[in-house]
Structure 1
């Protein structure tokens, strides 16, 4: 008797297995497995069982793109998602646009509108600008020094920050960009110490931020300077250590410590699947969860695997999850964003940030 079971619907989950963002990988892999279980429990995607395949997103971007392209060319994967940095997205999007759906769930600099590319992460105008306004109003932080890794997300975000500063009456008193994965933290913080700043805006990834956090505390800078980051998750706090996270503020759509129904459901499901010794559930990992559920939501609304149909229905596609309500409008995902302060190796969520930016 012929086998009538449809082939699996395979998703290449591109996550960094090396480099400064490699510390995200265990959490990303673990939460992707949970998301696959949930999607399959609801019938899969277009009636096909979902299978996630991990691709190393920590390699050179062109190599990552070549590997994913090979899998798409041979029909080995039907979609792409996962947490990875914007330079990898910039290499992947031209390869994938118009061919297979690509759900990019990481926070990013904004502006991605290519067909078949569905970005559901936070962008600077809803993540950084409202946080800067809150820190100005509540803590009096007006003079900022921007530090970042030297690639597209920090560079474009820093450009946006200059505009936000003008609108909010803030001063950007200095900027420094460092080689991804090779931070000279002494030289970097020498510049910060010499600057007349109240706060440091960190656009650093993974281990790069960890190293700066440790040196920041060693010099006692955390006693007089606020740090703010749109990319500082639970694994990075653990790696930094509880003595290196004072006066560190973070804006994101998800924190493990959030007490909302969706966030608690995710944490409960994660612990049920992997147990208490699982890698720390984090905002980077939750992005992978969002990516798979984005694909499922779009497939359900389109009712077909034709990518043109996905593009046609993206506006108005919405779902409820750990972040609350996520809805695409103008091809951009809208979602709540929260401000938290580090409390040792966890986050204390302070407030929801307004969705309208001045």
Structure 2
């Protein structure tokens, strides 16, 4: 993986092909998301090429396994960029990987990071399609306080930059609305035994748990939480959870589980329904699960394409200069770039067994 010849990223092809690195997790706790991410990105590339490509160039995705250590991922992406094998980078991967990749790219090529994240990214050439706490977490905590009367929270997260910074942001929001963080527990990525964590949640006296866990870790926590019976009295909210995790957790382990996102397969909007119909028509009923994380990779490919078309090149300074106010139609509806972040609607949803019941727009 990452061989410029194998990916079609040779200098000779550079005249008529735009090679874009697609950094997605193919292993580790987040590997559960990989197939959905890959399929959605591939659909975006197919549609763009059917439209005539990017400034007349065929779009070619170069897969990079973002489930490895951040240093390994950054080294591969750096090598691809340095060799001229890719002219852009996108994909869903955890913030620890972004923190390693962005400095190594160093603004040489545009980088569309598609995961929801903790906010604050401002390095040159980095564009962000994911939800941020001001759009997603703050309004959700307001909803829990005002509608459900929930103000006492325990935070359970993986131990890296996104959960840590998001927990700090959540505590600030809760203080503003008279809420309380009863306890905070952070575990290593890849944790499978949550028995002690569940005991701490029970002892904390919280009314709800803010889950900041990734993929398989969220699955293991959901199973332990439900096995303990805590799901009878304590709600759970995760800003990063989707259909793959619901399926892996099992219908008996999703009672009282909520999330918020800019896209749900079951959200009945014309743009969303059209996207789902196209996806399953292209990949069939056995396609990887369609979800917000996978759709974010579609969004990243589409955003970089729209920016390149507007700029007339992949020049990072030019793309940055023309990005403000860029608007286009996507499966999330009409989206618009502000401060290199994609502004979008965000919806709150409650798990109904193995699907999401969208409650309202936040």
Q: TM-score normalised by the shorter chain: which range applies?
A: over 0.9
Q: Is 2:193 aligned against 1:169? A: no
Match of 1:352 in 2: 361
Report matched runs for 1:289-328 at 5 Å: 289-328=298-337
| Aligned mates of 1:317, 1:105 — CA distance in 2 | 17
Report matched runs for 1:233-248 at 5 Å: 233-248=242-257
Contact 2:87 2:314 in 1 (8 A): no
Spell out, residue by residue over 1:112-156, the C-alpha distance to the aligned partner (whole angstroms, 9 max, x if none).
Answer: 111110011101121011011111111111100001000000000
Structure 1 residue runs without a partner (length 5+): 354-358
CA RMSD, 1 decimal = 1.3
The equivalent position to 2:103 in structure 1, one of 89, 94, 109, is: 94
The equivalent position to 1:149 in structure 2, one of 136, 146, 158, is: 158
| Aligned mates of 1:349, 1:215 — CA distance in 2 | 25
Match of 1:258 in 2: 267
Spell out, residue by residue over 1:178-220, the C-alpha distance to the aligned partner (whole angstroms, 9 max, x if none).
Answer: 0011243011111001111000000000000000001111111
TM-score, normalised to structure 2, is 0.95
Query: Deviation at 1:331?
Result: 2.5
| Aligned mates of 1:313, 1:205 — CA distance in 2 | 34
| Aligned mates of 1:95, 1:45 — CA distance in 2 | 25
SS of 1:131's partner is helix
SS of 1:231's partner is coil
Query: Deviation at 1:265?
Result: 1.2
SS of 1:21's partner is helix
TM-score, normalised to structure 1, is 0.96
SS of 1:146's partner is strand
| Aligned mates of 2:196, 2:81 — CA distance in 1 | 43
Report matched runs for 1:1-358 at 5 Å: 6-353=15-362
SS of 1:126's partner is coil
| Aligned mates of 2:291, 2:339 — CA distance in 1 | 28
SS of 1:125's partner is coil
Match of 1:356 in 2: none
Change in 2 beyond 3 A, CA 1:207/1:37: same
User: After TM superposition, which residue ranges in structure 1, 4 or more long, deviate above 6 angstroms?
Assistant: none
Residues paired across the two proteins, number: 351
| Aligned mates of 1:99, 1:62 — CA distance in 2 | 18
Query: Deviation at 1:5?
Result: 9.5
| Aligned mates of 1:309, 1:6 — CA distance in 2 | 20
